[in-house]
């Protein structure tokens, strides 16, 4: 386990040291660790082995087993120089076990260009108390490589261009202090890679162009400090990638151009600091990427140009904090932000998305869906229960808003009605009154359908009455004037209604043959004269002029005239309201 300390002191004593497994060393290393007040926190007694003894084991091709030892100045570069080898020649190490050991070097604990392909590497619970640590350009075999619980006091650790085998590699509970942690161009095998609960400390953490192959990768509960976390151009294979509950510091987190294969990616409940976060140009061939219940800081969040065309990205219950959020020109199968809090500008001008879910989300600023320099192709959008305190920018026609909501399969008529109501209010606030009318009509249509469904559930025995009321509303409110949003439709409906009643008045005398049905219209007149007088009479009745020169003499004519009088007043009022509504806005 990592030892937290401020200072230390090492004494080499001429006392035999025997390990728990019976291995004997002629000298013993006594190490004291001190806190800030120079009080001893821990005292260790370890076996002491000279580095030249280790080098001789390498010469002989013998396994190196130095568990519970103190090693000073170990360096494969020094070994190569002492043996006359080239600086970049590989050193064959049959196996290397140094569990619970302590390494110290003035400059660097150097394992570079080590060939560990034949045997094991076990540094579990070892402490590097001074000097950098490098495994650059080393090669590992298909075994379990264990760095768990290691402590890297210096913090500058170099694994660049290291090639790992097919076995598991574990840095579980390891602690890297302040410094650069460099894993760029490293090639991890197909075995499981574990950074669970690893503390990376301050300083940059670099996984640029790293190849993670097909093994599962876990950064669960890991913590990063104030440096940048850089996964640019990293390639993840078919294994699952887990960053659950990971704490990122205030540095920039960069996954731009990272490639993910078919695995499941989890950032659930992770916490990001105030640095910028970017996944620009990242690619996931298929699968799901979860950001559920994530907390972002004040930096910008860049999810632009992502290629997740057949993958789902889930941000449910995420707090995006301050800073701009952009999904510009990205491609998703599903993009879900259910029950989120959106404090600032959100750019949802995606290139393609089959389903965008904003249900239950609180919007305090701007949601931008309006096409600008390319079509925004969103098949379905769900804004059920959205709390709109800001604005939604979108174009009714270019965004195909009606289709995006009507095409929903998992929402009922009440949900669709609520969504169109939200859009109606949004368009009214932004002054897009034509779009407001479009949204209002659909809001009322789905509301009526929902009301009918509720009525049928409450009183199924009264179904004929419910359908009759629904049909009457459908005819009067919707078809005759689109809920007073279309004055031309209202005027056309008024004309059709007038013609309908005129024809009724003309037909009535045929049922009273030989009887004068209307005063002022002689049955002996020609067909066209009677038709003209009938239309005249219908007009003065419909428009409530009522000159009295023509009036009905039979009951049927009186009934039709009374009904026509009502419809005349209703339709002209309907037209007046619709016309005034358009003009005044």
- pLDDT tens digits for range 396-427: 999 999 999 999 999 999 999 999 999 999 99
With respect to residue 180, please indicate whether it lies within any of the assigned structural domains. Answer: yes
Q: Does residue 230 share a domain with residue 161?
A: yes
Q: What is the pLDDT of residues 47-56, one digit of tens each?
A: 999 999 999 9
Tell me the three state secondary structure of residue 309: strand
Q: Does residue 271 share a domain with residue 369?
A: yes
Rg (CA), the chain: 40
**Cβ–Cβ under 8 Å, residues 165 and 144:** no
With respect to residue 79, please indicate whether it lies within any of the assigned structural domains. Answer: no
Q: Does residue 175 share a domain with residue 212?
A: yes
Predicted confidence at residue 193, as pLDDT, reads 95
Q: Does residue 279 share a domain with residue 252?
A: no
- Dmax of the chain from CA atoms? 142
pLDDT at 57 over 60: yes
Between the alpha carbon of residue 107 and those of residues 9, 129, 134, 176, the distances in Å are 17, 11, 11, 17
Q: Does residue 284 share a domain with residue 351?
A: yes
pLDDT at 128 over 70: yes
pLDDT at 482 over 90: no
Predicted confidence at residue 75, as pLDDT, reads 96
**Which of 394, 420, 438 is the last residue in one of the domains?**
394
Task: Encode 462-475 in three state secondary structure.
Answer: HHHHHHHHHHHHHH
Q: Does residue 285 share a domain with residue 189?
A: no
With respect to residue 469, please indicate whether it lies within any of the assigned structural domains. Answer: no
With respect to residue 573, please indicate whether it lies within any of the assigned structural domains. Answer: yes
With respect to residue 457, please indicate whether it lies within any of the assigned structural domains. Answer: no
pLDDT at 505 over 70: yes
Predicted confidence at residue 585, as pLDDT, reads 67
Mean pLDDT of the chain: 92
Predicted confidence at residue 567, as pLDDT, reads 87
Q: Does residue 236 share a domain with residue 280?
A: no
Q: Does residue 351 share a domain with residue 273?
A: yes
Q: Specify the number of domains making up the chain.
A: 3
Average pLDDT over residues 222-251: 95
**Which of 258, 291, 324 is the last residue in one of the domains?**
258
Q: What is the pLDDT of residues 329-366, one digit of tens each?
A: 999 999 999 999 998 999 999 999 999 999 999 999 99
Predicted confidence at residue 93, as pLDDT, reads 94
With respect to residue 133, please indicate whether it lies within any of the assigned structural domains. Answer: no
**Which of 234, 258, 282 is the last residue in one of the domains?**
258
Instruction: Residue 261: name the closest of 232, 227, 234, 298 by CA.
Output: 234
* Residue 483, number of CB atoms within 10 A of its CB: 19
Instruction: Residue 183: name the closest of 154, 156, 143, 213 by CA.
Output: 156
Q: Does residue 386 share a domain with residue 276?
A: yes
Q: What is the pLDDT of residues 427-455, one digit of tens each?
A: 999 889 889 999 999 999 999 999 999 99
With respect to residue 482, please indicate whether it lies within any of the assigned structural domains. Answer: no
pTM over 0.75? The answer is yes
Q: What percent of the chain stands above pLDDT 90?
A: 70
Q: Does residue 319 share a domain with residue 230?
A: no
Rounded Cα distance, 416 and 412, in Å: 6
Q: Does residue 292 share a domain with residue 210?
A: no
Predicted confidence at residue 2, as pLDDT, reads 65
Average pLDDT over residues 471-491: 86
Q: Which domain holds residue 508?
A: 487-584
With respect to residue 231, please indicate whether it lies within any of the assigned structural domains. Answer: yes
Predicted confidence at residue 511, as pLDDT, reads 84
**What's phi and psi for 464, nearest 5 deg?**
-60, -40
CATH number at residue 531: 1.10.287.70
**Cβ–Cβ under 8 Å, residues 140 and 120:** no
Confidence of residue 1 (pLDDT cuts 50, 70, 90): low
Q: Does residue 321 share a domain with residue 238?
A: no
């Amino acid at each position: 386990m990592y030892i937290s300390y401020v200072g230390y002191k090492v004494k080499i004593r001429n006392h035999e040291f025997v390990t728990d497994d019976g291995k004997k060393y002629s000298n013993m290393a006594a190490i004291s660790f001190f806190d800030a007040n120079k009080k001893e926190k821990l005292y260790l007694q370890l076996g002491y082995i000279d580095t030249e003894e280790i080098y001789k084991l390498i010469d002989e091709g013998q396994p190196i087993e130095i568990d519970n030892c103190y090693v000073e100045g170990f360096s494969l570069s020094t070994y190569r120089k002492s043996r006359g080898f080239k600086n970049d020649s590989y050193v064959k190490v049959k196996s290397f076990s140094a569990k619970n050991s302590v390494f110290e070097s003035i400059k660097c604990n150097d394992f570079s260009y080590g060939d560990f392909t034949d045997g094991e590497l076990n540094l579990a619970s070892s402490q590097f108390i001074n000097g950098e640590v490098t495994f650059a350009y080393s090669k590992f075999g298909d075994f379990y490589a264990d760095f768990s619980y290691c402590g890297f006091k210096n913090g500058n650790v170099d694994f660049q261009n290291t090639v790992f085998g097919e076995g598991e590699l574990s840095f579980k509970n390891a602690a890297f202090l302040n410094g650069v942690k460099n894993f760029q161009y490293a090639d991890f095998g197909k075995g499981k890679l574990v950074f669970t609960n690893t503390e990376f400390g301050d300083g940059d953490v670099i996984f640029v162009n790293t190849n993670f192959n097909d093994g599962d990768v876990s950064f669960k509960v890991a913590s990063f400090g104030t440096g940048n976390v850089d996964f640019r151009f990293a390639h993840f294979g078919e294994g699952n990638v887990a960053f659950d509950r990971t704490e990122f510091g205030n540095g920039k987190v960069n996954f731009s151009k990272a490639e993910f294969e078919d695995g499941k990616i989890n950032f659930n409940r992770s916490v990001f600091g105030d640095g910028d976060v970017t996944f620009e140009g990242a690619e996931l061939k298929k699968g799901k990427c979860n950001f559920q219940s994530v907390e972002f800081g004040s930096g910008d969040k860049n999810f632009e140009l992502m290629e997740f065309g057949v993958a789902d990205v889930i941000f449910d219950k995420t707090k995006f904090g301050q800073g701009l959020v952009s999904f510009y020109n990205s491609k998703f199968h599903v993009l879900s932000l259910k029950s989120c809090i959106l404090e600032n500008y959100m750019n949802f001008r995606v290139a393609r998305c089959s389903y965008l879910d904003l249900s239950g989300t609180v919007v305090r600023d701007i949601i931008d869906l309006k096409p600008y320099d390319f079509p925004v192709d969103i098949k379905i959008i769900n804004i059920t229960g959205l709390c709109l305190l800001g604005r939604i920018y979108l174009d009714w026609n270019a965004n195909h808003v009606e289709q995006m909501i009507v095409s929903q399969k998992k929402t009922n008529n009440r949900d669709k009605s609520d969504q169109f109501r939200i859009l109606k209010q949004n368009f009214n606030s932004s002054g897009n009154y034509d779009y407001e009318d479009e949204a209002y009509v659909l809001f009322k249509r789905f509301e009526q359908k929902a009301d009918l469904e509720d009525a049928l559930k409450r009183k199924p025995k009264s179904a004929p009455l419910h359908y009759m009321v629904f049909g009457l509303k459908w005819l009067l409110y919707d078809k005759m004037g689109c809920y007073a949003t279309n004055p031309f439709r209202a005027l056309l409906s008024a004309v059709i209604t007038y013609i309908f009643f005129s024809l009724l008045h003309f037909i009535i005398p045929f049922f009273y043959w030989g009887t004068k049905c209307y005063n002022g219209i002689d049955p002996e007149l020609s067909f066209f004269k009677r038709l003209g007088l009938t239309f005249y009479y219908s007009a003065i009745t419909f428009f409530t002029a009522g000159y009295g020169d023509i009036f009905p003499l039979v009951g049927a004519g009186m009934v039709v005239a009374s009904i026509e009088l009502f419809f005349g007043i209703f339709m002209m009022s309907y037209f007046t309201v619709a016309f005034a509504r358009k003009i005044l806005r």
